[in-house]
Amino acid sequence: MNRPRILVPGKINERILERLPEMFETVRLERADAALVTPDMAGVAGIAVSGRLPTELMDAFPDLEIIANFGVGYDGVDVARAAARGIVVTNTPDVLTEEVADTAIGLLINTLRLLPQAEQWLRQGRWARDGAFPLSPLSLRGRKVGLFGLGRIGLAIARRLEAFGVSIAYHTRTPREGLAFAYHPSLRSLAEAVDTMIVIVPGTQSTLKAVNADILAALGPQGVLINVGRGSTVDEAALIAALQNDTIAGAGLDVFENEPEVPEALLALPNVSLLPHVASASVVTRNAMSDLVVDNLKAWFSSGEALTPVVETPFRRDARD
């Protein structure tokens, strides 16, 4: 019996490549580009992808049944097109929740207390030469934290924040039941009520540049913005201006509009903490994500049902036309 053919376009975690031969024939592409598809790739039934999957590449495979996305966010996949074709799309929720939540808290503390700058002060010999590192102007003490997004990761962040004794509020499209956190029906209302905003929403049209100059102004001069969601959610030019003009006090960013490119204006600012999109980047968590990618593919072709299909594609294999 022929093994299902799984396409891997571009770079992906090595653990996925190591595990795919357990059940599949792996087909590689140098990058996610439909122009690279050759006739000998016919019969591809699944795609394992990290990052963007062009619609043209998806449509190059008429026998495609499943797209296994490496990551909880799947905005790089044209899920509407996949749904129209009856293709199930999977992601990797839960297995990265705690790691990303930990990173969000670490990034918040780094931003408020200037810990990376303090470490450089020591490493550069300035402690011995110039004396104590300057006092950080900001602190987590007494902060009012607002979460833009309260899904799995947002809720995990909120639970961690409870231990710090800060007040917690949130904005989502609809309120979550059974929570003591204050709900705000609009992002502007949330920004006006807090001085610290943590962004953890997916990159969609509805969240595109949702954190704009107006929202930043509402956050205020003691305001701090933390983004561990998607770079597209924040108007980067507006954020740079707000930081330069002291409209807000600081920002901590793990994601950017045009990754891996980061504006020089951001790099030059003293009141930011910047990370290269590493929120889930531990060996333990990336291995778990990789395993879920492969396990979704194996479950689909063995039992006819994916483990973690996204809500837009709740398909079963036996229901395909």
Residues labelled as active-site residues: 230, 259, 277
Q: Which residues face 211 on adjacent strands?
A: 234
Cα–Cα distance between 319 and 23 in angstroms, integer? 22
Q: Which residues have C-beta within 8 Å of that of residue 3, sequence separation ≥ 6?
A: 23, 24, 25
User: Which candidate, 75, 51, 41, places its Cα nearest to that of 293?
Assistant: 51
The tokens describing 175, both together, are: 């309120």
Cα–Cα distance between 92 and 15 in angstroms, integer? 15
Sheet (strand 250-253) strand order: 182-183, 167-171, 144-148, 196-199, 224-227, 250-253, 272-274
Sequence length of the chain is 321
Sheet (strand 44-49) strand order: 25-29, 5-9, 44-49, 66-69, 88-90
93 in Cβ contact with 73 (< 8 Å): no
Taking residue 270's Cβ as centre, other Cβ atoms within 10 Å add up to 8
User: Which candidate, 196, 193, 181, 191, places its Cα nearest to that of 143?
Assistant: 196
Cα–Cα distance between 101 and 112 in angstroms, integer? 17
The tokens describing 261, both together, are: 């490119």
Q: Say whether 109 sits in a helix, a strand or coil.
A: helix
| 131: alpha, beta or left? (left if phi > 0; alpha if psi -120 to 50) | left
